[in-house]
Amino acid sequence: MWRRRLILILTVIAAVEIVALGIRGFLAETLITPLLYLVWGAVRIFESIPQGIIWLTFVLAASIVALVSVWGGRRNDAQHADADAPRGRVYEWQRLVALAQRHDYSRWRMAQRLMLLLAETMAARERIELRVARQRITTGMIDAPQHVIDFLRAGADSYRPRRRIFLQRGESALDVDLDQVVAAVERLAHGENRE
């Protein structure tokens, strides 16, 4: 049994060696020799160019790179200064309001952030725990219109994307006028009652 395997392995190795010898000659004639001639020709052409022209080309290329980096760097620094500037709460709120005009997810994030802001403000003003203030908002125990309470309650829940095929516009608690919600939250944050 093992002799058959040994004979089979030796036969395969011999066949591979014969094919390799044939391929080696074929590769040398068709691929390696032309590539070596190409490299030899390129070196001969490069050596025939005067040294002054080569050095002039390198100096011009280095000068162009230096000038582009100096002039282009000032323009890019101004662009990167805005991108690297520290962003505070006002910037994040402004960005969130702009996104909330277009996307449902951003409206949900806005509801979530407004609900948390109101809960933190109520907890600090009334000296209660944050979870109690959040519970008051979600149960509707605040002096606000029902659509504002629904909007803030939607921020307390997890985000559920809606499928526009089945839901008509206006069926979500997030579809309210943001100006009214912000005005109501400002009034509640200041501790004023509804008029």
pLDDT tens digits, one per residue of 132-142 = 988 888 888 88
What are the sequence ranges of the domains in the chain?
A: 2-84, 89-189
In this prediction, residue 11 carries a pLDDT of: 92
Compute the distance between CA of residue 106 and CA of residue 110 in angstroms, rounded to an integer: 6
Q: pLDDT exceeding 90 applies to what percent of the chain?
A: 16
Compute the distance between CA of residue 1 and CA of residue 86 in angstroms, rounded to an integer: 77
* Average pLDDT over the chain, rounded to an integer: 81
pLDDT winner (highest mean) among 26-30, 47-51, 156-160, 167-171: 47-51
Q: pLDDT confidence of 39, banded at 50, 70, 90?
A: very high
Q: Are 151 and 176 in contact (CB under 8 A)?
A: yes
In this prediction, residue 164 carries a pLDDT of: 58
Q: Which of 64-78, 140-154, 178-192 has the lowest mean pLDDT?
A: 64-78
Between 77 and 21, the higher pLDDT residue: 21
The model's pLDDT over 80-94, given as tens digits with 9 standing for 90+, comes to 555 666 677 788 888
In this prediction, residue 84 carries a pLDDT of: 62
In this prediction, residue 22 carries a pLDDT of: 73
